[in-house]
């Protein structure tokens, strides 16, 4: 049985991050997010066109920043996207966008919920978790995290929690980190962070060695590197690591000042956040991760 929803933790962290901004920074971030909103009701990514994937991040940022968006326009964009054949990632994006907007906001919710729930259930694996390809025996960590976030939007307990715990265990590397799929590949921070958040959500203890493995990727000047051979820290790895540390209760082991300085270095004059030192172009996705990182570092006892 799920103990505390990951989506609720994310929402609280984003709200803390938004609340931590001073008046000028808040105005700048708000203007940036509004600037990414298109007249057709969606948010743009790295191009000028609205994108369902980036719209999740845009809507989450807008909610955290208490921005008022025209709901009929957003609903219209979602209806147009719903008419297309969606892959697993975009299906989870659609469900989360609909939940953020509000199920009754012009989406004919009753019919869509049943349809999306059936589609999402097709990606539940026999041996636990979610996989982007239907019919797979065992899930991947990234897909399981996305699938659980989407399932939570239905306000129903996920039925295969025990199997999911076993699925996660098979993906743990002897180093303490987690690989994404089939026990192969190199452990990374985003995947390991997702695994730790899922363990907390499922009411399971933190796997031994994972905390130390993650801390070994922390750079002395702040920020987390994605993997052992990656030379520079990035915002995705930093935000997910900090969120996992907050969720698991060891955020005090992370040097807050250095991490705040790193996150601040990726905030640019546009008001948004870039991904790393060599890619400073801001977008809604990394602005989401910027707020998530800030919110994970804010003092307080609530994950």
Domains and CATH numbers, the chain: 6-297 (1.50.10.20)
DSSP code string of 194-243:
HHHHHHHHTT-PPPTTHHHHHHTTB-TTS-B-SSTT--S-BHHHHHHHHH
* Section 214-228 average pLDDT: 95
pLDDT value at 301 more than 70: no
Q: What is the pLDDT of residue 3?
A: 41
* Section 256-281 average pLDDT: 93
Q: What is the pLDDT of residue 2?
A: 42
What distance in Å separates the CA atoms of residue 273 and residue 28, rounded to the nearest whole number? 11
Q: What is the pLDDT of residue 183?
A: 62
Please report the beta strands in the chain, taking only residues with DSSP state E, as ranges in sequence order. none
Torsion of CA 221, 254, 8, 283, to 10 degrees: 0
pLDDT value at 14 more than 90: yes
* Section 222-243 average pLDDT: 96
Q: What is the pLDDT of residue 20?
A: 96
**% of the chain beyond a pLDDT of 90:** 79
Q: What is the pLDDT of residue 265?
A: 96
Name the pLDDT band for 6 (thresholds 50, 70, 90).
confident
* Section 176-182 average pLDDT: 93
What distance in Å separates the CA atoms of residue 286 and residue 266, rounded to the nearest whole number? 9
* Section 217-241 average pLDDT: 96
Sign of CA dihedral 214, 217, 222, 226: negative
Phi, psi for 193 (deg, rounded to 5) = -60, -45
**pLDDT single digits (tens) 21-43:** 999 999 999 999 999 999 999 99
pLDDT value at 145 more than 50: yes
pTM: 0.95
Query: Largest Cα–Cα distance in the chain?
Result: 52
Per-residue H/E/C for 95-133: HHHHHHHCCCCCCCHHHHHHHHHHHHHCCECCCCCECCC
What distance in Å separates the CA atoms of residue 51 and residue 80, rounded to the nearest whole number? 11
Decide if 301 contacts 12 (C-beta within 8 A). Answer: no
Name the pLDDT band for 1 (thresholds 50, 70, 90).
very low
Given the structure tokens 């790393």, which residue do they identify?
A: 276
* Section 281-300 average pLDDT: 94
pLDDT value at 92 more than 80: yes
Residue count (the chain): 303
pLDDT value at 107 more than 70: no
| Structure tokens that stand for 244 in this block | 């996992």
């Amino acid at each position: 049985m799920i103990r505390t929803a990951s989506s609720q933790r994310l929402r609280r962290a984003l709200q803390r991050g938004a609340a931590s901004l001073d008046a000028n920074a808040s105005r700048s971030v708000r203007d940036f997010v509004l600037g990414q909103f298109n007249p057709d009701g969606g948010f743009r990514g790295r191009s000028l066109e609205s994108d369902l994937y980036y719209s999740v991040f845009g809507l989450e940022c807008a909610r955290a920043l208490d921005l008022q968006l025209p709901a009929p326009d957003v609903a219209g964009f979602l209806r147009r996207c719903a008419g297309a054949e969606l892959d697993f990632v975009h299906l989870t994006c659609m469900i989360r966008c609909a939940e953020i907007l509000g199920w009754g906001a012009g989406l004919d919710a009753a019919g869509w919920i049943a349809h999306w729930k059936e589609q999402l259930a097709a990606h539940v694996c026999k041996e636990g978790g979610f996989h982007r390809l239907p019919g797979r025996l065992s899930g991947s960590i990234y897909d399981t995290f996305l699938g659980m976030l989407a399932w939570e939007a239905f306000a129903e307990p996920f039925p295969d929690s025990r199997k999911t715990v076993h699925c996660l265990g098979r993906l743990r590397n002897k180093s303490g980190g987690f690989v994404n799929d089939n026990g192969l590949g190199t452990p990374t921070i985003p995947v390991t962070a997702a695994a730790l958040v899922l363990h907390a959500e499922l009411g399971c203890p933190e796997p031994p060695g994972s905390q130390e493995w993650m801390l070994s990727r922390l750079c002395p000047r702040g920020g987390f590197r994605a993997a052992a051979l990656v030379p520079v820290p990035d915002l995705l790895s930093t935000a997910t690591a900090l969120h996992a540390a907050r969720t698991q209760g060891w955020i005090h082991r992370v040097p807050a000042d250095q991490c705040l300085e790193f996150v601040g270095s990726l905030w640019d004059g546009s008001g948004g956040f870039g991904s790393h030192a060599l890619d400073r172009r801001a977008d809604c996705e990394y602005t989401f991760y910027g707020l998530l990182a800030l919110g994970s570092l804010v003092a307080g006892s609530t994950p």
